[in-house]
Chain A
Amino acid sequence: MTEWLEDGYDYLRDKMLDGIAEVGRIAMLVGDTFRKLGRGLRSFGLIVDQMDHIGVQSLMLVFIVSLFTGAVAAVQAGYQFANVVPLKFIGSVILRSVIIELGPVLTALIVGGRVGASIAAELGTMRVTEQIDALDAMAINPVRYLVVPRVIAALVMLPVLTIMANTIAIVGGWIVCLTTLDVSTHTYVTSMKTFFFMKDLWSGLIKAFFFGGIIAWMGCYYGFRTEGGAEGVGIATTRAVVSSCVLVLISDYVLANVLFRFIFTP
């Protein structure tokens, strides 16, 4: 009986220590990124390449997801409003739910899936085929050369993609309003204008900025830590995607509290 307890204790202790060590290593990677930021910024070409990869190449996916997000928001609002709230308010409900939550979070989740996975797989493969060692051996700092451009690109592109997503989602909602809810364009737009607050938009974009950092750092961290061959790359990819999605949602909660309680007070 005591042996069983001891084993259990050892297992829990090891797991906890691993967890703490992991958080520490991620913090060190983030710290290293800031330390190499100055020199990394000079590699403008690398940053532009990553912006294309993270931002431009995600456009189609973001387009489709946002269009249907807006459409679903309109259908659901129509259903919930029935006989309770006049439909003339539907525009503002769609607008605010999209720019505060749906736009930034859904964009981060799908870009996290696409980009987080590709960063982890690329860097993981580079790790197991000695390409990262080769950079070190050539006196080229891998954090400066690989992590900084990806992080900067993600920090810039996530807010940009979110603006796109917001716009397209609003269009999606408008199409549903027009075709099935019998709400005119004029009513839709007026409602949006009446209840539009700049701070709502800002809060979404600030969140998107943080989500960009999470996605890039998680992809880079698990990519760098890859061990073994193809199996290791697979594990790294999965961990990068899962951890970035979970962290996006957790930080969404934290940021919502911080932003709306302390910064954009009602």
Chain B
Amino acid sequence: MIKIRDLKIRLGKKQVLNGVDLDIPTGKTVVVMGRSGTGKSVLFKNIIGLMHPDSGSIEVDGQEVVGIPEKELNEVRKRFGVLFQSGALFDSMTVGENVGLPLREHTKLPDAEIRKRVADRLEWVGLKGVEAMKPASLSGGMRKRVGLARAIAMDPAYILYDEPTTGLDPIMSDVINRLIRSLQERIGVTSIVVTHDMNSAYHVADEMALLNEGRVVFTGTPDEARSTSDPIVRQFIEGSSEGPIKPL
């Protein structure tokens, strides 16, 4: 369970997050939606400690993570798997080395065991036998799936997805959406998905949260989102340029 309370961060002159409250219940997939530039990625980076808020609190399984020393933060981070928008694969390494990196760094598993685990995770994401390839020779969708295999290498309790379907064709988007769902069913992982892709959001969400002007302005199930009369939510899910949200 992740509890975010009154999270505030200012970047330059802009108050990016202005009191975010959000609960991510264990075992659920929560989709955080919002327009580009509303601070979705900033929220995501705060949760994993890549950025530090000016004030507010983030609790992971009851443990406060804001302002804790790096050593403790790293222990928390080991419970997380993160899929970055571009996959963030290390292009100096092969696919197999990428997926195996967290295992080599944090466990004392023998090489053979690591290779087995890597092959296993790659198979989970539908990419059997690509260990020897370099990231540069992969397509966008394959990169994301390798990134996902790396994110789940350590059997995390949480997975953070940053725009998992951005830049993918509709078919590959669906593949990713199904993977997100199947991982939740398979290993009972708690997921946070940051996206502005409504299709993807409906597909994977147990709960949805809409971020607007630095605050969470709506939380609810996908059905509640569809039936709400809240004009901000309506405008966002209908994708209209007219309404309370002003285009920048």
* Chain A contacts to B: CB under 8 angstroms: 122, 126, 129-131, 133-134, 136-141
Residues of B within 8 A of A131 (CB): 88-91
Q: Is the CB of B48 within 8 A of A137?
A: yes
Q: Is the CB of B106 within 8 A of A139?
A: yes
Q: Which B residues from 85 to 103 make CB contacts under 8 A with A?
A: 85-86, 88-92, 101-102
Count residues on chain B whose CB falls below 8 Å from chain A CBs: 23
Q: Is the CB of B84 within 8 A of A134?
A: yes
Q: Which of B70, B77, B89 contacts A138 (CB 8 A)?
A: B77
Residue from A131, A138, A140 whose CB has the most chain B CB atoms within 10 Å:
A138
Q: Does B49 contact A (CB under 8 A)?
A: yes
Nearest-neighbor residue (CB-CB) of B74 within chain A: A139
How far apart are the CA atoms of A242 and B101 in the complex, in Å?
Answer: 34
How far apart are the CA atoms of A131 and B239 in the complex, in Å?
Answer: 32
* Chain B contacts to A: CB under 8 angstroms: 45, 48-50, 70, 74-75, 77-78, 80, 82, 84-86, 88-92, 101-102, 105-106
Q: Which of B70, B77, B89, B90 contacts A137 (CB 8 A)?
A: B77
**Chain A-chain B contacts (Cβ-Cβ < 8 Å), number:** 47
Could you list some 18 contacts between A and B, CB below 8 A?
Answer: A122-B92, A126-B90, A129-B86, A129-B88, A131-B88, A134-B82, A136-B48, A136-B49, A136-B77, A137-B77, A137-B84, A138-B77, A138-B101, A139-B75, A139-B102, A139-B105, A140-B101, A140-B105
How far apart are the CA atoms of A60 and B84 in the complex, in Å?
Answer: 39
How far apart are the CA atoms of A188 and B200 in the complex, in Å?
Answer: 78
Q: Is the CB of B86 within 8 A of A130?
A: yes
How far apart are the CA atoms of A131 and B89 in the complex, in Å?
Answer: 6
Q: Is the CB of B50 within 8 A of A138?
A: no
Q: Is the CB of A137 within 8 A of B101?
A: no
Nearest-neighbor residue (CB-CB) of A136 within chain B: B50
Residues of B within 8 A of A126 (CB): 90
* A131-B90, A137-B50, A140-B102 given; 20 more Cβ-contact pairs under 8 Å: A126-B90, A130-B85, A131-B89, A133-B88, A134-B88, A136-B48, A136-B49, A136-B50, A137-B48, A137-B80, A137-B82, A138-B77, A138-B82, A138-B101, A139-B74, A139-B77, A139-B78, A139-B105, A140-B101, A141-B70
How far apart are the CA atoms of A218 and B194 in the complex, in Å?
Answer: 35
How far apart are the CA atoms of A10 and B105 in the complex, in Å?
Answer: 48
How far apart are the CA atoms of A130 and B92 in the complex, in Å?
Answer: 14
Q: Which of A130, A139, A141 contacts B84 (CB 8 A)?
A: A130
How far apart are the CA atoms of A130 and B89 in the complex, in Å?
Answer: 9
Residues of A within 8 A of B88 (CB): 129-131, 133-134
Nearest-neighbor residue (CB-CB) of A122 within chain B: B92
Q: Is the CB of B105 within 8 A of A138?
A: yes
